[in-house]
Amino acid sequence: MSIVDLTSMGKSQTELRKEINGQLSKLQDEISDYCFQCAKCTAGCEAHKLLELEPHKMVALLKRGLIDEMVNSDIIWTCMSCFKCRERCPQRVAPVEILFALKNMAVVSGKQIPGKYTAMLQSILSIGLIQDVQEVTTRDNKTMKRDELGLPSLSKPCDPAKFQVGLTKIAVEKV
């Protein structure tokens, strides 16, 4: 089991791609019926103020079927997943969910995954958590470890091999 199975173009990924495509088509149908471009999502968007993400435009692009264009754009990775757009949409469209689907599509299409996502995924695959126990610093610059603070041992998957078998199925199963 390696990160490649979950993120790149193995045979199983064709199935996964098909499935995400299906999700996007379904979203596209729903949106075409409901979104009337009021832009309430963009008005509240946390990433809009700082990084110029405009959720209502993403919805409009999906409506027109410009999926590849969005999958290839960096803008989909600026969403902070604050869920304001999903919460406030008067028509119950959820731009944040569209963005998740688009990012999943970018990953399964073999696009480079930005930032620390790959490292975090790798860590989940090996120890079940996004990172292992860290040393921390106090305000007086003393370093401390988890056990030195009297905290019990870390809860993580007891049998990593069995845990990985479960995860492997995600790469093989349809989404």
Partner 1 sequence: MKKKYALYPGCLMPTEQYAYELSIRESLPLLDIELVDIDGFSCCGEPMKSVNRLLTLYLSARNLALAEKHKLDLFIPCAMCHLALSECRHILGNNPEMKKRINGMLASEELTYKGTGEIVHTVDLLHDLVGVETIKQRVKKPMKGIKLATHYGCHLIRPTEIGRPVDSEHPMKMEAILEALEAETVDYPEKLDCCGGILQINLPESALTKTGQKLKAVQEHGFDGFVDVCPWCHKMFDSRQSKAGETVAAKLDVPVFYLTQLLGLALGVKKEKLGLELNLSPVDKLEFG
Residues that bind partner 1 (CB under 8 A): 6-7, 46, 50-51, 77-78, 80-84, 86-87, 94, 100-101, 103-104, 107-108, 113-117, 120-121, 124, 128-134, 136-140, 142, 144, 146, 149-152, 154-159, 162-163, 165-167, 169-170, 173, 175
In whole angstroms, the minimum distance from the beta carbon of 60 to partner 1 comes to 22
Interatomic CA distance for residues 78 and 64, integer angstroms: 22
Interatomic CA distance for residues 143 and 106, integer angstroms: 40
Cβ nearer to partner 1, comparing 16 with 56: 16
Q: Where do runs of H (alpha helix) occur along 64-116?
A: 67-71, 84-88, 95-108
Place of tokens 């499935």: 19
* Enclosing H/E stretch for 144: strand 143-144
Cβ nearer to partner 1, comparing 23 with 28: 23
Cβ nearer to partner 1, comparing 33 with 92: 92
In whole angstroms, the minimum distance from the beta carbon of 152 to partner 1 comes to 6
